[in-house]
Structure 1
């Protein structure tokens, strides 16, 4: 064989070898992708840790407790901001609010497009999974649509429509305005809306204010004897998600792409409406009104919220003490809604079981923040207090033994993104600001237990003020500082206009602000030092 033929043969062998290697590599990648676990990502609006797996002896949540038995319950978990849109943005980006600049909802300033300008590294959680070969679908409230386009950030999802919230009238006729199903309430709402139109009232906020002024149009609770599908949780959220799981099962078993399925339930958000059978699980006497129905003594005015959601519903008085029987009724309604959502979660678990997918699916359940149920006379969130910032988080992985409860480690919602990436065997995006919790799920002891950080922005007559709260095992320390914004960017002052310190060992209800108490001078100094370590981007205080 001459030299030309030898070289030609070698080239052909080399090309063949390269093609074989490419084919093997692509096959391995395809096989790796098919072996990757699915993710069921469950968001529950306004859900506080009123669950059996969090030690609540009254509220019945067998399906969420089942997920807890399969995974890890993080009992000391905190949200970054106790308001829907900002909390969800921090969890779904793995970035803190001071990085994205998303502190609230509405307008250009808090839109995800503006957040991308402030933080070019921003990649959303479903977007990251989509880029790694996952089919990413969503139903219900995942992002808050006031921070995104109508598809809840369409670029994050595999389908052009983004997250869907579509009513299936074959299951139940279209719902009443506001979700109410009581015929008398519906008639009152229709009449009031016609009146509002005649008066030229058009903006949504103004319409809600007008409805609140008309008796009977916004009842705080409703318990109708209707099927689950009469309300959105059963119709527009659980039902299509169950169908999606069944459609996915065969495809996945045959080596298809894994799925990231997000399901966002709106309840137990106000009003507390749920089918009668979930109300029947409880009676009014099961619930005891909060013992501390006042703001802390020596408190800071910035810590108080003017937005008390429950006050906008009938027959809740617009101000002053809420009668105890009504408080019990509202707590009853909240618990009924929690059990209603729990039942919808059970349908998702059953679908996974029917498709033999439970052993191939990571499950993450979270409530976007806590909720005040009468303490400090609050019925809502919008504060830096414990009841608003402590939020449920349960994560289960088929590769990690379950039944673990972490009562000690302080965790945050920014930790979810890197945790799910590690569980799915993929690298997280760069510059995430949380830490993976997988080691904790395996039972390893943390080398450190840094405090959790929450914050809340207030609009005052003097301008915007931000309160940053750090929570460690025993104390919460809060500093309030003026902030300003220009060209979509925020700057923070070095002036502290209010400080709070709470000792949960001696005062679990936050009845006393101890920031100026001489007996706590040493503790305050230690917390200030910790505050500066955890929040180094804030300017040194005056």
Structure 2
């Protein structure tokens, strides 16, 4: 197992931030002055962008970024959940190496000496600054609990907005619940976070919500850092639930033009436990009445899709403001820009609404756009299979930094200048743990040029359950063909490929 442990274990206390002494690291001068890095991470953003071929969504600013960079059409996260995905991307290690499979485990508890991506830049002379949700946190109460921030990654403490992710009505409900909990002496944890409404279209300025305030802070930070090398990580929370965006973004879409997914049904032959339904949705006030076994009424389906699109356009507007500031400060020619979603998302596909939590293409495929100064192949689309663990070594490569030994990804820097350059990766790996009949299963998935194979592997070592999808004939993954006779040779070949590309590791509970 790849490890980043010193011979003497370090003690890590989550949340110690600036008050604790931090270990010092030897720094070195990079080969050249090095690029700045503007790293934009967007929560729950699937590849529903104009530059990915979507004709309904309105994302002009992200599309402009794509015109001067490379769109990676087949980029895959390592696990479709915020904390594991972000910990993996930012350490360059897979979930089985970070030990992070849930929302509450901090990667430092398992790999205390890991050097994160922003930490690598900080250690080599860049000013490293994080804004809002980079590592995992709960935006409605980021200072209270659920904050997986990593103080070692930043030159100054993580900045957090003071504005809400809710609209006025939803925030009022949330504050009322907080007051009631305080009066009753109830302690807040992940099981009882006070929520407001899942959808709202308030008449308000962008900056009166948390993400708009974050964009303003990003512009301010760029101005302050323009004369030095920087790694600026900007994390946006939308289009994560709740789907709250200023009304002008809702007004960009009409109910009549919304197109619901065609495959609002479970894949034929798929195990029931492989899917999820309303895991994230039913905690909100306006959807608490929904029973897991029920289908959502069509008007609510349209409302959710409408809200998701509005939030994407809201974030696109904030990205546009930051990119405009980058240009006005004359930083474009010195700054690599990365825009990435932390995982995919379902908005109706397979009748899964406003959720991720699966190994399906809709959960693990996410947008990745990289633009570097002087890029020769601008505005091109790469069809290469890339993984989020590849982002870390790529940025280190582009900035002439020595990445830590043991990273499991590989640099795709050559694809930026030639999207058709030779690329050795033939498999993208993802995973997700599930519970079925009281048993803990780890779903291990590989995506190849044509197929997706998922193995559901019981911890006890009993017989696995398989899913196989043929993307040439079934790009929406609507039919599991693992037991179809004509696919048995393919299943055997892919099973060996999965096993060859997946080191056996203990399942972390």
Match of 2:215 in 1: 238
Q: How far off is 1:394 after superposition?
A: 0.4
- Of 142, 161, 172, the residue aligned with 1:166 is 161
**Aligned to 2:64, what secondary structure does the other structure show?**
helix
Check the 8 A contact 2:386/2:428 in 1, yes or no: yes
Q: Which 4+ stretches in 1 moved above 4 angstroms?
A: 29-33, 146-151, 196-200
Check the 8 A contact 1:285/1:328 in 2, yes or no: no
Q: How far off is 1:266 after superposition?
A: 0.3
Match of 1:512 in 2: 479
**Aligned to 2:362, what secondary structure does the other structure show?**
helix
Q: How far off is 1:204 after superposition?
A: 3.6
1:205 and 1:311 map into 2 onto residues whose CA distance is 14
Check the 8 A contact 2:69/2:377 in 1, yes or no: yes
Structure 2 unaligned runs (5+)? 1-27
1:31 and 1:522 map into 2 onto residues whose CA distance is 50
Check the 8 A contact 2:166/2:197 in 1, yes or no: no
> 1:341-380 alignment to 2 at 5 Å?
341-379=315-353, 380=355
2:265 counterpart of 1:298: no
Q: How far off is 1:479 after superposition?
A: 0.7
Q: How far off is 1:334 after superposition?
A: 0.6
Q: How far off is 1:519 after superposition?
A: 1.9
1:471 and 1:30 map into 2 onto residues whose CA distance is 39
Match of 1:179 in 2: 166
Check the 8 A contact 2:343/2:366 in 1, yes or no: yes
2:46 and 2:299 map into 1 onto residues whose CA distance is 22
Match of 1:318 in 2: 291
Which protein is richer in helix relative to its size?
1
Check the 8 A contact 1:308/1:378 in 2, yes or no: no
> 1:40-439 alignment to 2 at 5 Å?
40-106=38-104, 110-116=105-111, 122-145=114-137, 150=147, 152-159=149-156, 161=157, 163-167=158-162, 175=164, 179-182=166-169, 185-208=170-193, 218-235=196-213, 237-249=214-226, 251-252=227-228, 258-305=229-276, 308-316=279-287, 317-319=290-292, 320-379=294-353, 380-439=355-414
Q: How far off is 1:101 after superposition?
A: 1.4
Q: How far off is 1:461 after superposition?
A: 5.4
**Aligned to 2:135, what secondary structure does the other structure show?**
coil
Check the 8 A contact 2:202/2:245 in 1, yes or no: yes
Q: How far off is 1:265 after superposition?
A: 0.2
Q: How far off is 1:523 after superposition?
A: 1.3
Q: How far off is 1:538 after superposition?
A: 5.7
Check the 8 A contact 1:82/1:382 in 2, yes or no: yes
Q: 1:268 to 1:431 in 2, by over 3 A?
A: same
Q: Deviations over 1:451-506 (max 9, x none)?
A: 110000124553421100001121111111123xxxxxxxxx64343111111222
Check the 8 A contact 2:69/2:372 in 1, yes or no: yes
Q: 1:404 to 1:351 in 2, by over 3 A?
A: closer
Q: TM-score, normalised by structure 2?
A: 0.87
Structure 1 unaligned runs (5+)? 1-28, 168-173, 212-216, 253-257, 484-492
Check the 8 A contact 2:106/2:148 in 1, yes or no: no
- Of 451, 458, 464, the residue aligned with 2:434 is 458
1:454 and 1:138 map into 2 onto residues whose CA distance is 26
Check the 8 A contact 1:312/1:318 in 2, yes or no: no
Rg larger in structure? 1
1:392 and 1:462 map into 2 onto residues whose CA distance is 35
